[in-house]
Amino acid sequence: MKILVVGGGAREHTLVWKLAQSSKAEEIYAAPGNAGTAQIAHNLGIKPNDIEGLAKTAKEKGIELVVVGPEVPLANGIVDHFQNTGIPIFGPTKKAAEIESSKVFAKELMQKYNIPCARSVSFSGYAQAKEYIKQQTPPVVVKADGLAAGKGVTVADSIPQALDTLSNTMEAKAFGAAGDRVIIEECLSGKEMSAFAFTDGKTVIPMVSACDYKPVFDGDCGPNTGGMGSYSPPHFYSPTLAEKVTETIMEPAVKAMAKEGRPYKGVLYGGLMITNNGPKVLEFNARFGDPESQVTLPLLKTDLVDILLAVINGNLDQINVEWSDDACVGVVMALAGYPGSYKTGFPITGLDNLDKDILVFHAGTKIGTEGQVLTSGGRVLTVVATGKTIAEAREKVYNNISRIRFEGGYYRKDIAEIKK
Ligand code: AMP
Ligand code: GLY
């Protein structure tokens, strides 16, 4: 089977790596991929948002299965487009992907179907939103409705900060049309985690879950990033909690989407807060997580191609999805300055000097003119290890990561450090 993975981050490198282990995989393509995918797949010089370009090339190459990594092409209808051309594609349609691309839609869905989430009100008028915020007690959470590359949410500690955020979002249009509508919601406290499930629109099969570290500096300080590291499974994720998440969140959400005439197929990703009153949804995403994929897919024992095809064909009930009992830890190496500005184009050394069981998933890397691996983006790569315990996996990662060097290389030292 010829398979195309859309995207160029470490999540997509992990997908390519996992798919390459399938006996059904003959050739794998990545669009655009990175220096890591170039070693095990063919990189195509096509951007993930160039849906027509991707469809044309997929036809020419005889692609038989497409997997989409990032949210923007999903929100723009890449799945609908490929379905029209008859090429099997894994992911939700545009209408189903609205569970991520419109926070107002997701919120209305959760409220209508009693899926636990933060109390909130949505607004399309600036003046009304402003009045509402003035009546709240801080902290208060302000969310842009649409996709904002992870920057559309502010947990404001004061009313002036919330008003500033609102003005930035709705008046100054910091996130463009994504800020035409906003959600103002209560601030939840508890343990944050990401839950995932494969679904064909009927059957829901949980994946292992993970914790993600968004702030750039140790101790969760500094601005939010796309994610600086992750581990799986969360140390507090008991079988009872897992059951509750599946029964009160994932299954009801999939049922609700079907009822709304937006059958959801793909991976459903619940960003959750485990509060004293049980798990509640912060947001839904319509795809695999990044960096969570780097620590969940290595634990998958079942052939990923079989799962993806069963989701597409609507017979996921026929598949037994198995996971390793091991733990997995991934630490992101980024460039100093990220998530702000940074300098790229420097050689990466030490990749050939790592212990045998260490995995390195590339993100912002490219191959230089002399074949050397160079930095090309803010998050450069994720270093991953599995172990019998989180502590063992963590030790392996940190024993190896310091051997990888590049100009401006930076990583958090406290990923998967479990404080009792
Ligand atoms: P989101 O993009 O909705 O996941 O929000 C980004 C981050 O903001 C989350 O990872 C949480 O840390 C935080 N967040 C979002 N909504 C809430 C909430 N209602 N209460 C507390 N924190 C929140
Ligand atoms: N880990 C955050 C995300 O994938 O959106």
Residues in the ligand 1 pocket, defined by CB under 6 Å: 118, 141, 153, 155, 185, 187-188, 192, 214, 271, 282-283
Cα torsion at 30, 35, 41, 45 (round to 10°)? 40
Q: Is 292 in the pocket of ligand 2 (CB under 6 A)?
A: yes
- Please compute Rg for the chain using Cα positions: 21
pLDDT tens digits, 303-356: 999 999 999 999 999 999 999 999 999 999 999 999 999 999 999 999 999 999
Q: Please give the distance, rounded to the nearest whole angstrom, from the Cα atom of residue 197 to the centre of ligand 2.
A: 14
Q: Per-domain residue ranges for the chain?
A: 2-93, 125-180, 191-318, 327-410
Pocket test for ligand 2, best of 15, 285, 287, 293 (most atoms within 8 A of CB): 285
C-alpha–C-alpha distance, residues 298 and 208, integer Å: 10
What DSSP element (H or E) covers 258? helix 251-259
The dihedral region occupied by 118, where left means phi > 0, alpha psi between -120 and 50, and beta the remainder, is beta
Q: Which ligand is nearest to the CA of 287?
A: 2
Contact call for residues 54 and 4 (beta carbons, < 8 A): yes
Q: Is 199 in the pocket of ligand 2 (CB under 6 A)?
A: no
Beta strands in 157-276 (DSSP E): 182-186, 191-199, 204-206, 211-212, 215-217, 221-224, 229-232, 266-275
SS3 at position 402: coil
pTM (2 decimals)?
A: 0.96
C-alpha–C-alpha distance, residues 284 and 291, integer Å: 16
Q: Could you please report the per-residue DSSP string of 141-168?
A: EEEESS--TT-SEEEESSHHHHHHHHII
pLDDT at 26: 97
CB under 8 A, 24+ apart: contacts of 239-247: 241/274, 241/279, 242/206, 242/209, 244/278, 244/279, 245/195, 245/206, 245/209, 245/270, 245/272, 245/279, 246/197, 246/204, 246/206
Q: Which ligand is nearest to the CA of 283?
A: 1
Q: Is 227 in the pocket of ligand 2 (CB under 6 A)?
A: yes
pLDDT at 420: 65
Q: Which amino acid is at 154?
A: T
Find how far residue 68's CA is from the centre of its chain.
11
Mean pLDDT of the chain: 96
242: its two tokens: 């897992």
| 29: nearest Cα among 52, 49, 59 | 59
Class of domain 2-93: alpha beta
Beta strands at 140-144 and 182-186: parallel, antiparallel or unpaired: antiparallel
pLDDT tens digits, 147-183: 988 788 899 999 999 999 999 998 989 998 999 999 9
pLDDT at 212: 96
Q: Is 100 in the pocket of ligand 2 (CB under 6 A)?
A: no
C-alpha–C-alpha distance, residues 193 and 195, integer Å: 7
Which atom of ligand 1 is least distant from the CA of 143? 3
Contact call for residues 210 and 231 (beta carbons, < 8 A): yes
Class of domain 125-180: alpha beta
Output the CA angle 195-196-198, nearest 5 degrees: 160
pLDDT tens digits, 74-120: 999 999 999 999 999 999 999 999 999 999 999 999 999 999 999 99
pLDDT tens digits, 219-270: 999 988 989 999 999 999 999 999 999 999 999 999 999 999 999 999 999 9
C-alpha–C-alpha distance, residues 389 and 287, integer Å: 27
CATH fourth-level superfamily of 327-410 = Phosphoribosylglycinamide synthetase, C-terminal domain (3.90.600.10)
| 230: nearest Cα among 179, 193, 203, 265 | 193
Pocket test for ligand 1, best of 104, 143, 155 (most atoms within 8 A of CB): 155
Which atom of ligand 1 is least distant from the CA of 186? 19
Q: Which amino acid is at 203?
A: T
Q: Is 285 in the pocket of ligand 2 (CB under 6 A)?
A: yes
pLDDT tens digits, 224-238: 898 999 999 999 999
| 326: nearest Cα among 356, 300, 353, 354 | 300
Q: Is 200 in the pocket of ligand 2 (CB under 6 A)?
A: no
Between 3.30.70.100, 3.30.470.20, 3.30.1380.10, 3.40.47.10, what CATH number should domain 191-318 receive?
3.30.470.20
Q: Please give the distance, rounded to the nearest whole angstrom, from the Cα atom of residue 225 to the centre of ligand 1.
A: 13
Q: Does 185 or 153 have the greater pLDDT score?
A: 185
Which atom of ligand 2 is least distant from the CA of 288? 4
Q: Is 294 in the pocket of ligand 2 (CB under 6 A)?
A: no
Exposure of 9 by Cβ count < 10 A (0-12 exposed, 13-18 middle, 19+ buried)? buried
Q: Is 152 in the pocket of ligand 2 (CB under 6 A)?
A: no
The protein residue whose alpha carbon is closest to atom 4 in ligand 2 is 289
